[in-house]
Structure 1
Amino acid sequence: MKIKYYGVRGSIAVSGKEFVKYGGNTTCVVVEEANTSVVLDAGTGIRNYGRDLVKAKGITGHKVNLIFSHYHWDHVQGVPFFTPAYIKGNEVNIYGETKFNKSVQDVLKGQMSFINHPVELSGMASKLSFSEIAAGTDLNIGPFRITFLKINHPGSNLAFRVESKSGSFIYATDYEHYSVPDNPLINFAKDASILFYDAHFTPEEYPKYTGWGHSTYDEGIKLAQLCGAKELHLCHHAPEHSDDDIDGIMRIAQAKHDKVFAVQEGWEVEI
């Protein structure tokens, strides 16, 4: 199982010399194995994934499986800029949860309505399909078995467990910890090869933002220890946090846990 991080910034994309190391694109993670790719969320990072696909394999013949954890802007804003979706001969299978009586197709139609974007969803020439997912269900795509857990975030959110014979990847961004251990999440992430975890705030910042739906590296370390994750990958870097800020966070975090890493955009890891 290969994992590539195309976007690990939270809330809004950023640019500038102070954000070069960790990157500025919002959330998009691609998991690959046995010629099957699963894309987790479509923040601005999905644009570069689309460019990579076209560059490596040509403009047609792509089968993309895109799964949404939720529909906050930083997780959907890259959809209109995903080039393979506009090209006939490609297939894009889209999975998401119905929320507030809106399906994933409804959400994307609204996002790409003409008042928001010059090309509507119906203008995408690839073969699009839309499927429902929900907490407690399973999804099988190629070598992957993907399960879903509802986690704490305004408007709700889904964590993903992506498993194959190679190992397991837990995708738990946009999550706010509780004051007591989150046993459903601990069990869901048990013995994970990699735990991808929301560390938007520092422990010092967090009390000012209780209820915003994000967590800290300290809480990520606690969860990793409780669930037995082999590695902890911190994500959803705050747009206010520069490379120097995140380097400082890492020095503190790695003094507490030797297998914790702040993810950098462009990283590729294998399980």
Structure 2
Amino acid sequence: MYDQAAKLRDHLRNNQPFIDQEGRVISVISGKGGVGKSNISLNLSILLKEQQKKVLLIDMDIGMGNQDILIGRSFPFTLADYFHEKRSFNELIEKGPLGIDMIAGGSGLSNILQLDKQKVDNFLDDLSVVLRTYDFIILDMGAGMSLEAVSFISSSKEVIVVTTPEPPAIMDAYGAIKQIARNQSDIQFSMIMNRVDDIQQAGEAYERISAVVKKFLQLEIVYLGCVFEDKKVKKAVQHQVPFVQLDRQGQAAKQLALITSQLLNEIERMEQGSGTSFIQRLKHLLLSRR
């Protein structure tokens, strides 16, 4: 991995273009904790893998990551080890459930703005190598909105907002969308309503937040679908296995499969090669805030 990164840095210094492209980077946010964002991120990653996509799930919840808990495994290294122990990205990547790759969360990202420019450049170059080896990179973002977190989310061209129908969760989701939209105006926001009682409840909650976002932020939010409250999801969490693995024919698994298909359909309508890349956007945001 270091050899790859070194070659990439040489290309970047010489301004030599690359033929291959970064994978799709999708940030999954919630605005507040406890709405099932990490569980959705994990199971969505697995369902994308089922569609013959190469997927990397990165737990970006700084200091509070829980992807390892959801799958009942301990990861030998986290993102913090990249910065503090000089581990390569290749050493961070672990094989997760049903063939997805995973990187565990850590406290390292909170120090990015304090690193010197060369270290930031090296981090971004190494990350760029990783992004070019996957079809999808799912960033399971924490509930907080630190400068580092906002930089990563704002650099994504697609952001999935996971919320529940309760008014406090809706308000927090709107606040998160507003903060991200303030940094980048060309992000495609999508929404998943989680833990709903029925389709009508989900639709009404989506219409409320969609109307507010359109009125005050002049943005459209794509509705990907909803996931019902399901006892099997709670059972999967208790047994530390993804709910699509515990019961692929369960209600929640079927609904998330439909959401995955909808997501892929939406992505197909967007041009992958247009605009600046994730790494270019992230580099600009990180270095401009130093």
Shorter-chain TM-score above 0.5: no
Larger helix percent: 2
Greater relative contact order: 1 or 2 (C-alpha under 8 angstroms, separation 6 or more)? 2
TM-score bucket of the superposed structures, by smaller chain: 0.3 to 0.5
Larger strand percent: 1
TM-score (norm 2): 0.40
